[in-house]
Amino acid sequence: MSAAKIIYPEQFGHQDAEPTGWFTVVELADLRLPGLPADKRSLQRRAADERWMERRALDGELLSRKRPGRGGPVEFHVALLPVAARQELVRRGFCSDAMAAAEEASETEQLWQWFGAQPDKVKNEAKSRLEAVSAVLLMTETLQVGKNAAVRAVADKNGISPATLWSWIKAVGTADRKDWLPLLAPKRKGGGKVAEIPEELWQLYKSDWLRLSAPPAAASYDVVRRRAKTLGIAVPHIKAFQRRVAREIDPYVVILMRQGATALERHVPSIRRTVDDIDVMEWVNIDGHVFDVEVEHPDTGKPIRPTLVGIQDIRSSKILAWRVGVSESVATVRLVFADLIRDWGIPKDIILDNGRGFAAKWLTGGALTRYRFKIKPEDPQGLLVALGVNIHWATPFHGQSKPIERAWGDLCNYIAKSAELDGAYTGNSPVNKPENRGTRAIDWDEFCALVDREIREHNAREGRTGRDYAGRSFDQVFAEGLARTIVTKPSRQQLRDALLAVERKRGDAQSGEIRLLGNRYWSLECREIAGKYVTVRFDPDDLHTEVHVYNDSGAYLFTAPVLEDHGFKDQAGATVVSKRRSHVRKMARQYAEAADLVDPAEIARIKSGVRAAPEPELPAPAAVRIHPSRQSVAAVAAPEPAPPSARARNRLFAALGKPRLVE
């Protein structure tokens, strides 16, 4: 047999890299080191028998790791290898002396680490074995009983064979008595040889099984079985695939590929926030909740599911303001904010959902972090920006970002499922609907009164636990905090702005009238904004009164009343328009008279008396150049024709009947 070929770093791909002291099973097999098997299978069995995957260094670090990179194999540190193998690696230049001298945890420490990772069943069995061995030791050392007799007596008492007890005594050997427990623990191993799975079948199985559809293992195995039948190769048992999944694929990868990123986030500890560093009315959050209840529409009477919009103080969890609306509209949200600043004041910070109702320009126009609708530099300031409230956007589809979500869950139990709404509750999902759903619809005013009563009861309910509630209610916590907090109250102008919606409009180029939501608004002052953009504030609940007009800097300009429409046969409408025009003409004439304008005849007389300016002299150029015309250039360039000969002239004269010339 020829000598084994020795491999050096330059043949192993290490010539350009620093030695790391980490090797895979395949690399160790190729190196053919002394004291180690020279084939991959034998090395894998050696690593399993000696528990290379579990052994640690003195600092507690594992001596095995995944090689960096996608799908990298497992590699082992040189400290796991026999001394002869380490010395050979140093001689060939694969690792340094320091790497080879790295000490792993002692055998005893590794044994106790292994024992700590075992289930209670193994630990309890180890304890029973220790009691039996200790009983034998007690009889032989203290009672001076022969060892064979002691073993037979203890074996009979515990219902085991003497041979078994002798094997336990042999297991502890001469080890220190404090280490007997892990030595006596049963070390059962699996069924031996690992089934070999063809790589193509393994790739097919894990690709099919790691899908968001989350097919069962049997279905993915059936795909593999059909492919193996086509290829004409044997396929291992389904358990072999499942064991390889557990052995090679990270559990986080399984969750991500079969359940999605949102499910993976649930397996990571979430942040736990404290409110000890904030005061009441410092941070609030707002959100909407659609009730699973059928309520009669206030206008049409048709059954709908109403929406509750509420603002909660984060420090005390008290719901400070709320409104029930047909939907989560901007108007409803605006009124809730108006109630908040009117009753309690202006908060410093607010957490908003990124819904269309909360991110509308009426509320958050001009905010730097507003990522809804088209943002224009000339957009008017929204209510929150004008009041100086710091806006924070909640993470989309993440209920933990809004503490008020917890309150909605409580109110669902006390409102939607209350006895007063029995028969109107629709259930919170298609598979969770009560049998009597849709049998009645609640009156709108009756439902709003129930919501008001239950929210006040929610705030006043005592016995709250968690945080620093200590059995107090949300009202009590809020009142105590408010007594030591400075709250900013709005002015009358700010309160009026809160109750009014805002839009940016352009006055008509000729009349200056403002067109808003199908209505027209005009006053004499509109002549100042003809063709210009202005900010218009109005009450969306009453569009048939007036609007308030502001310039770009926010200064108040004037109020413009609505222009009413009139029927085609309505004579009164024509009279109104005629009077309006007459008033404008009269006012314009008065302005013209007050301007004390000069009469046109006087202007003509003044112009005639003014001495006329003399006729200006034409300046002379320094030199004149005659530009040649096209004909003159041709005449100069063309050569002068030669005169006709005497013979030619005689032929011409003969043709004309004239006498010939004498040559």
pLDDT at site 14: 46
Give the pLDDT of residue 16.
46
Q: Look up the domain containing 532 and give its range.
A: 500-573
Q: Positive or negative CA dihedral for 598, 604, 610, 616?
A: positive
Mean local confidence (pLDDT), 64-68:
84
599-625 mean pLDDT: 74
The answer to whether residue 191 is domain-embedded is no
212 and 125 co-located in one domain = no
Q: Are 98 and 119 in contact (CB under 8 A)?
A: no
Q: Residue 259 maps to which CATH number?
A: 1.10.10.60
Q: Note whether 321 and 226 are same-domain residues.
A: no
**Are 436 and 292 within one domain?**
yes
| Helix or strand holding residue 64 (H, E) | strand 64-66
In degrees, rounded to 5, the angle at the alpha carbon of residue 272 between the alpha carbons of residues 271 and 273 is: 110
In this structure, is residue 222 part of a structural domain? Answer: yes
Domain check: are 206 and 352 in the same one? no
| Co-location of 473 and 509 in the same domain | no
CA dist., res. 609 & res. 312, Å (int): 82
CATH, residue 44? 1.10.10.10
Domain of 450: which CATH number?
Answer: 3.30.420.10
243 & 346 share domain = no
Q: In what order do the strands lie in the sheet with 64-66?
A: 22-24, 74-77, 64-66
Does 190 reside within a domain?
no
486 Cβ partners below 8 Å, 6+ apart?
none
> 488 pairs with which residues across the strands?
346
pLDDT of residue 15: 45
Domain stop point among 551, 573, 595: 573
- Please tell me the predicted confidence (pLDDT) of residue 60: 64
How large is the average pLDDT for residues 578-589? 76
Contact predicate 441/294, CB 8 Å? yes
* pTM beyond cutoff 0.75: no
In-domain check, residue 261: yes
Q: Please give the backbone phi and psi of residue 263, each rounded to the nearest 5 degrees, phi first.
A: -65, -35
CA distances from residue 532 to 381, 399, 514, 522, 526 in whole angstroms, order as listed: 18, 44, 10, 14, 10
d(CA 172, CA 134): 11
The pLDDT value recorded for residue 268 is 86
Start-to-end CA span in the chain (Å): 134
Closest CA to 128 of 158, 161, 172, 163: 158
Q: Is residue 489 part of a domain?
A: no
Do 304 and 423 fall into the same domain? Answer: yes
C-alpha closest to that of 329 among 303, 294, 355 = 355
pLDDT exceeds 70 at position 590: yes
pLDDT at 509 over 50: yes
323: three-class secondary structure by DSSP: strand
Alpha-carbon radius of gyration of the chain: 49
Per-residue confidence (pLDDT) for residue 452, from 0 to 100? 95
The model's pLDDT over 74-114, given as tens digits with 9 standing for 90+, comes to 899 888 888 788 888 888 888 877 666 655 555 677 778 77
Cα–Cα distance between 285 and 277 in angstroms, integer? Answer: 17
* pLDDT value for 472: 94
Q: What is the pLDDT of residue 256?
A: 93
User: Could you tell me the two tokens for 337?
Assistant: 């904010």
**415 in a structural domain:** yes
Residue 328 banded pLDDT, cuts 50, 70, 90:
confident
The mean per-residue pLDDT over the stretch 224-236 comes to: 92
Residue where a domain stops, chosen among 541, 556, 573 = 573
b/e code 508-545 from CB counts within 10 Å (16+ = b): beeebbbebeeeebbbeebeebeeeebbbbbbbeebee
- Token readout for 552 is 């770009």
Q: In whole angstroms, what is the distance from residue 311 CA to residue 325 CA?
A: 14
Q: Are residue 443 and residue 312 in the same domain, yes or no?
A: yes
221 token code pair: 């195995």
Residue 156's φ and ψ, nearest 5 degrees, are -65, -40
Q: Which of 178-187, 202-211, 536-545 has the highest mean pLDDT?
A: 202-211
pLDDT-derived band at 128, boundaries 50, 70, 90: very high
Which residues on adjacent β-strands are paired with residue 56? 62
Average pLDDT over residues 476-496: 87
- Per-residue confidence (pLDDT) for residue 397, from 0 to 100: 62
Are 269 and 285 within 8 A, CB to CB?
Answer: no
**Helix runs in 210-269, H state only:** 217-231, 238-248, 251-259, 261-266
CATH code at 162? 1.10.10
- The β-bridge relationship of strands 74-77 and 533-538 is unpaired
Split into its structural domains, the chain has a count of 5
How do residues 370-426 score in pLDDT, each as one tens digit? Answer: 555 555 655 656 777 778 888 888 876 666 678 888 898 888 889 999 889 988 999
Question: Do 205 and 178 lie in a common domain?
Answer: no
Contact 15, 9 (CB under 8 A): yes
Same domain, yes or no: 240 and 175: no
Helix (H) or strand (E) holding 556: strand 556-563
Quote the tokens at residue 636.
Answer: 């100069």
Amino acid at 591: Y
Q: Is residue 37 part of a domain?
A: yes
**Domain boundary residue among 545, 573, 601?**
573
In the structure, what pLDDT confidence band is assigned to residue 1 with cuts at 50, 70 and 90? very low
Where is average pLDDT lowest: 45-54, 170-179, 652-661? 652-661
Which domain CATH number covers 547?
2.30.30.130
Residue 253 falls within a domain, yes or no? Answer: yes
Long-range pairs of 193-196 with CB within 8 A, sequence gap ≥ 24: 194/44, 194/240, 194/243, 195/236, 195/237, 195/240, 196/236
29 and 57 inside one domain: yes
Per-residue pLDDT at 2: 40
pLDDT of residue 450: 94
User: Are 180 and 233 part of one and the same domain?
Assistant: no
Averaged pLDDT of the chain? 81
